[in-house]
Every structure is written in C-alpha cells, then in structure tokens.
Structure 1
Amino acid sequence: MKHPHRIREIAERAGLSPATVDRVLHERGGVRESTVRRVHHAIAALNAQEPPYQPTITVDVVVPRPEPVRTALTAEPPPMIRPRFPHDLAAAGHAQGLILDAPDTPEVVEAVGRLDIPVVTLGRDLPSSKRVAHFGPDDVEAGATAAYLVEQWLADRAGDVLVVRGDRSDSGFRAEMRSRAPNRRLLTVALPEVRRALAANPSVRAVYSTTSGNAEVVEAFAAERRRYDVFVAHDLDDENAGLLRLGKLSAVLNHDLRSDLRNACRAVLRELGLLSGPLPETPAAVQVITPMNISA
C-alpha cells in the first residue's frame, strides 16, 4: 500500500509497534486481519488530515509606499502567495504575477503590455493597459466626501482651502467644491511649498491633503503662527493616526487596504487557473475616521 507517511507515524496512529506496521506494509504475514485493518485505517486517517498540495506563487508588488502594503500582507498572509517588493517596474516581471500602483502614463502602459504575467492594479488604475483587474478606492467618491466634510466644518465662514497634492487625483474634491462653494478659492501646492503658500495667503482656513507627510503641513502652520478650522487627509497610516489622536487632523478618509490586497491576490491566482469564483466589481466604500472613532 503506497503512502507518504513514516512507519513511526502510522504506528502511533494505529497504536501498534513500528515492527508490526512494517510487517503489514511489506505483507510478511504473521499478523491478524484486524491488525492489518488497523494499519490501513491509520493510513487513511493520516491521508485525510494531510492538507492538499498548494503551489507557492511569487508575486511582485510595486507600489510608491511599500511599508503599509508589506504590513498588511504580513498581518494577513494570502494563501499560496509569496510577495516580493522590487524597487520599480523595470525590476519586476520575473515573478508569476504583478500587483502595481503606478501613474497612468504611456510608458507605464507600454511596460505592462510587455509583461507575460497577470497584472493587477492597486490604487491607481491603468484602464487602457492589459491589466486583468483593478482594486482600490474610488478617488472621485473620496474627493467628493472630503469636499463635503470641509464645507460642513467651514459652514458659511470665509476662507481659502489649501490643497496639498500627491499621487491621488483631486478631481472629485474640486468638482464637489465647485458645486457646494463656487466662490471659495482652492490653492494647490506640493508639500515643500506649504509654508511659502501660507505666508503669501493669510486667508487659508482649511486643508485637504492627498499626500503623506501631513505632520509637515501641521508644522508649517505652527511655524507661521497660523490655525486652520479643518484638515482632511487620506489613509490611516501611523502618522495620520497619531495626528488624529492629537486633534491635528479633523478626519482621515481611509479604505480597506487588506481587502484590496486580498482581492488582488485572488485575481492573480484566478488568472493562473489556481482559483475559481467571482471577484468584487465595486470598490470598497470610503471610511471616514475621526478622533472620535479611531481605535486605540
């Protein structure tokens, strides 16, 4: 009887000596039929508890900020997936799949087209590429939510809004602000330009940030001896969580990164024929985190 188990394992399972099990397996005779059945039952039980073989699939993960993704994948390791984190897209592609967060440029789309592996976009989409699926927040919905929150805090008070740009699109925010407060001025700057913009614009009363490094924005206001009425940011990373707890941020718009990564890994496995079943077609809802509902 063929089996992958050691004689000692079978003996322990059957409650017999290794010598008796060896005699049964090699059909040497001299054992009772009931003993033979015990050995066969023990092997069947060991077979039943053996997990089915699962291949290990190497997936390259290319994202602007790998640490939150690495942390999420460590906290909830996806089955069959071994993630790698190459520095850029040029160094990727030697795996069996790719999870990518990159700008939608002709160069990136062309590079994706040259790959012979399943590509799933995470965060920023590449709709004209040959990616097999996309998961991430709806930036238009998130931006509109941010505009709603900013206007709720400012109410009828005058004041400009400082928009600190990053990788995320702010089109949803701008469209909703035009609808809600067409006369309110939006000043768009990069993170290094914040303090200079504050010095030149004393009417700034609100901040909407689509980038990381928001502690620098808070420090710029303090350096200029200025205050803001509302500050809305994206992504509940360690820095933003700390700023929320200190009351330096009014709200953080967050999405479930673990869910996005789980779905991205499933999409790769499904494309490789290792998984079946549908994938979600709608993005995860935007979560509004405030100092009142952030976990300890």
Structure 2
Amino acid sequence: MAHLFLVKDIAFQAGLSTATVDRVLNGRPGVRQQTEMRVKAAIAELEKQQAGAVASGRMLAIDIVMETPQRFSDAVRAAFEAEMAAFLPGIFRCRFHFAEVMKPAEMVQLLDRIRLRGTHGIVLKAPDVAEVAAAVARADAAGIPVVTLVTDLPNSARIAYAGADNRAAGETAAYLIGEVLASGGGGKVLVTLSSGRFRGEEEREIGFRRIIRADYPGIGITEISEGHGTDTATGTLAAAALAADPTVNAVYSIGGGNRAVLAAFDAARRPVHAFVAHDLDVDNRALLAARRIGFVLHHDLRTDARSAFRAIMGRATSPGRAVPASLSSVEIVTPYNMPVGD
C-alpha cells in the first residue's frame, strides 16, 4: 500500500497500534477487512490534510539523500532538524537517507524508489556521474525538484545548489597553508579527498592548486583519494603517502578522516606544520580545541538547509519561476573563535 506517511502517524490517525498498521501496509495475513478499511481511511485523511497544507504553503515532505561519512551526516541532520523547526511559514517533514559509501547504482535505485513513492523534493549530496544525473532528470520530469547540497551536479536538472563556493574555499586553504609553509622554508602538502567523483571536492582541489601554483611555487602537492572520508581507509592511504615522500609536512583535508591522517603522521614521527580542514563536525571541534589542526573552513549548514527549503517551496508555489543561486559564506575558524554551537 503506497503512502507518504510514517507508520506512527497513520496509527495515530486510525486509532490503531503501529504493529497493526504495519501488518496492513505490508499485506500480512490475519488482518480484518474493517481494520484495513480504517488504515486506508486514515491515509486518505492524511493525504487530504497534507494537500490542504501544501496549498496554503505550510507542509512539504522532502527526502535528504547523502553519501557521506557519519560525522558529516550527523551535522547535516542536526542542521535540517533545527531549521525545520524554525522555518516559517513552511512546515517541512524530512526523511533522511544516509550511507558512508554508496555505489552509483545504489544511489540511482534509491532516487528512483523515492520518485515512485512520492515526495515534494529531494536534497541530494551525490557523486557527479551520468547515472545520478539521469535519475535527477527522471525526478524533475515527474515534477519533483532536486536541490544539490555542498557538492553540485551542474549538468543535471537540479533546480538549485545549496552550499559554499568550493573553489573559493580551496583558494582560502592554499593561502593559509602557503603563508605558513613559505615562512618556514617550504615543504609539501598532502591533499586528501574522499573521492574524485564529487564535484565539490574537485572544485576545492582546483582552487587550492591554482593558488599554490601561482603564489607559492616552491610548495609541492601530493594527493590521496577514494578513502571515502572513513578513518580506516584514509589512514592507510595517508600512511602510504608519508612513507613514499619524506617532504610532506602539511595537510589540506578536503574529504575528512582527520584523526586517521594525524595518527599516520604520529606513527611516522613526522611534524605537521599546517593543517586545514573543512566543517565543524564533532571530530574537528575536538581536534581544533586540542591544537592538532590549525584552521577549519566552516560554512553554516543551517543556511544551506534554509536555501534548500526555500528553493523547494518556491518551486511548489511557482513551478515556472527560476530559483536564484544562494551560496553560504565560508568562515575561517581557529581555536580562538570557535563557536559554541553548530
């Protein structure tokens, strides 16, 4: 039985237990016809309520789909839940679909399943590959707006991008590291990516390399990728990079796994003269407070959530209207100006 609602919401509306509703929805035996009719009536009433709420601009159910390490998905969930509670005049219901590693085929299957089940919008952090772009096109053709989050799919049918200017962020990281290393005699920077499939990470790397090449030509760069931001894989890649090159003495962490990268330096008994990371997640807050990393390039995820909500609401109320771009600003955070909250 297709529906857009949580089992507990249907159960409340029908005056039944969640177990009973679950049996009805999944077509299990032993359910009386009267009970099945009560569940169908409850779903119909919820649909009626939701249609009226959408028409008045008060209720939109959206799906947040992300391939990302858990430390970042936790931060995104907190940001969307906080903004969902504060966003007016719209009331959003968010359903979260997170995985640390997801094959493109799995991502496409999930997006198609959401499209067929029904949603008022999708907020998507996904690799920039043809299969995903095709799934976005299918969603758009079905009238479902897609907003990309923190990493863009510029050649897709997405209606908006919510996030920072990633190229400018990479340039900022190059300036911070370049100034430190240039004053200390130079060196080489280990640039870590979670995966080369993400446009946002690629943009950060392009910006970083451009400034290093133009303004700090004596500083070298070596890169690791496909650790997916997880500690185990990223740590192994970092250890191999350090063993292969004794001149590496700085880190620009685009893709995360920073505890593991620092552990690799510790195991090799190597100093880290400069370390720039992204996002004030739980790990980076602790590492910054302990002075293990020097700078965090942070942008407000609640601003991104607000931008995504506005884009989806704008498409719902004015289908033909273009959605303006809205980039969140990047803040350089040190141990001395780290905000208390997210």
Shared fold per TM-score greater than 0.5: yes
Alignment match, 1:30: none
Quick check: 1:61–1:84 contact (8 Å CA) kept in 2? yes
Q: C-alpha displacement at 1:214, in angstroms? A: 0.4
> Equivalent of 1:108, from 132, 135, 155?
132
Q: How does 1:129-168 map to 2 (within 5 A)?
A: 129-156=156-183, 157-166=185-194, 167=198, 168=201
**Scaled by the length of structure 2, what TM-score is found?**
0.67
Q: Does structure 1 residue 124 correspond to structure 2 residue 135?
A: no
| Aligned match of 1:37 | none
Q: Equivalent pairs: percent with the same residue?
A: 39
Instruction: Give yes or no for the alignment of 1:73 onto 2:73.
Output: no
The CA deviation string for residues 225-268 of structure 1, in whole angstroms up to 9 with x for no partner, is 11111000111111001100000111010111100111101110
User: Mind listing any 5+ residue stretches in structure 1 that lack a counterpart?
Assistant: 1-51
Equivalent pairs, count: 245
Counterpart among 215, 222, 232 of residue 187 in structure 1: 222
Whether the 8 Å contact between 1:207 and 1:231 is mirrored in structure 2 is yes
Q: Which has the larger radius of gyration?
A: 1
After the TM superposition, list the runs of 4 or more consecutive aligned residues in structure 1 that deviate by more than 4 angstroms.
52-55, 277-280
Amino acid at match of 1:106: A
* Pairing 1:197-236 to 2, within 5 Å after superposition: 197-236=241-280
Deviation at 1:161, TM superposition (A): 0.9
The RMSD of aligned alpha carbons is 2.2
Q: Structure 2: which 5+ residue stretches go unaligned?
A: 1-54, 99-106, 226-233
Distance 1:252 1:280, change over 3 A: farther
Q: Is the 8 A contact 2:307 2:326 kept in 1?
A: no
**Distance in 2 separating the partners of 1:268 and 1:295:** 29
Structure 1 residue 90: Cα displacement: 2.3
Mapped to 2, the partners of 1:61 and 1:185 lie a distance apart of: 38
Which secondary structure state, in structure 1, belongs to the residue aligned with residue 191 of structure 2? strand
Whole-angstrom CA distance in 2 between matches of 1:60 and 1:284 = 21
Cα offset, 1:127, TM superposition: 1.6
**Per the alignment, in what secondary structure is the counterpart of residue 76 of structure 1?**
helix
C-alpha displacement at 1:126, in angstroms? 1.4
Q: Aligned letter for 1:187?
A: T
- Specify the alignment match of 1:86 in structure 2: 97
Q: Deviations over 1:114-164 (max 9, x none)?
A: 112011111111122111111111111000000000011112412111111
Offset of residue 210 of structure 1? 0.4
Q: Identify the residue that residue 23 of structure 2 maps to in structure 1.
A: none
* Contact map agreement 2:170 2:207 (CA 8 A) in 1: yes
- CA distance in structure 1 between the aligned counterparts of 2:186 and 2:255, rounded to whole angstroms: 25
1:194-214 CA distances to partner (integer Å, 9 max, x unpaired)? 012112211111111101220
Match of 1:178 in 2: 213
Distance 2:293 2:170 in 1: 16
Identify the structure with the greater helix proportion.
Answer: 2
Select which of 50, 55, 59 maps to 1:56. 59
Question: In the alignment, which residue of structure 2 is the partner of 1:97?
Answer: 121
Kept in 1, the 8 Å contact 2:182–2:216? The answer is no
Structure 1 residues 141-150 or 260-269, which shifts more?
A: 260-269
SS at match of 2:304: helix
Asked if the contact 1:59/1:95 (under 8 Å) is kept, the reply is: yes
Q: Quick one: which amino acid aligns to residue 176 of structure 1?
A: I
Shift of 1:182: 2.0
Kept after mapping to 1: 8 A contact 2:298/2:330: yes
> Helix, strand or coil: the match of 2:310?
helix
Aligned residues of 1:263 and 1:279 also touching (Cα < 8 A): no
Moved more, 195-204 or 226-235: 195-204
Question: Do 1:161 and 1:187's aligned partners in 2 also have CA atoms closer than 8 Å?
Answer: yes
Provide the C-alpha distance between the structure 2 equivalents of 1:89 and 1:295, rounded to a whole number of angstroms: 37
